[in-house]
Amino acid sequence: MTSQPPQIIHVLLADDHVVVRAGIRQFLEQSSDIQVIAEASNGQEACELIEQFKPDVAVLDIQMPVLSGIEVTRWIRSNRLPIGVLVLTAYDDDPYVQAVLQAGANGYVLKTAEPQEIVKGVRDVFQGKSVLDATLAQKLIVKLTRKDDSTLVEPLTSRELQILTLTAKGFTNKAIGVQLGISDRTVQNHLANIFQKLNAESRTEAVMRAVSLGLISANVTEIS
């Protein structure tokens, strides 16, 4: 029985530096399952090309002319486009990380990461997983553990812990619903409660906060 060829991940690459785009494209396309179908030099062009080519994953820089990567991410989410967003940037400052995650990005990887880590980030985002650079993840855990509110406003229920654990493993809302026998909407409602209890504004921050509080093990996370 012959094996099926891997599904091709169609990528839009947006960065205002031509040389940087060329380098990223080269090592991404060394993988047989990744194809860069469009390149943008600014945020506005990225939005237009996303509408035209409908990529599976958008790999965005933060600082770009016209519209930033954060603004492009917000535009993607406000239009409910089924596109994974991986921010690939040189900025590791907390405000940038928080703004990107709050905008709805699926992942945040530094340009200093090894090429195979960036390739893995594209694949993970395509699969609906959350991706966070290891250096940034450690900084976020340290920051969260230093918060004054080291205890929960209200304990998580057993169902919320189940959902949080599956979220940490990279499961999408739909996949969580299938596994637990509940609807996507119910999963979404549980996540909203989890965010409130953990004082978190994104899936990634909720997972990191839960790890810092000892609610779930860091070993179960797909955040890399």
Same domain, 25 and 68: yes
Tell me the three state secondary structure of residue 11. Answer: strand
Query: Is residue 44 a part of any domain in this protein?
Result: yes
Question: What strand order describes the sheet that includes 57-60?
Answer: 34-40, 9-14, 57-60, 84-89, 107-110, 131-132
Spell out the per-residue pLDDT of the chain, length 224, in tens. 455 667 899 999 999 999 999 999 999 999 999 999 999 999 999 999 999 999 999 999 998 999 999 999 999 999 999 999 999 988 877 677 777 888 889 989 999 889 999 999 999 999 988 888 776 766 665 555 555 444 555 788 889 989 998 988 888 888 999 999 999 899 989 998 898 888 887 888 888 778 767 777 655 445 43
CA distance 150 to 110: 29
Query: Is residue 2 a part of any domain in this protein?
Result: no
CA distance 215 to 165: 9
Same domain, 146 and 117: no
CA-CA-CA-CA torsion for 78, 81, 84, 89, nearest 10 degrees?
A: -50
Task: Give the chain's domain count.
Answer: 2
CA distance 54 to 159: 36
CA distance 180 to 120: 27
The boundaries of the domain holding residue 165 are: 142-220
Query: Is residue 49 a part of any domain in this protein?
Result: yes
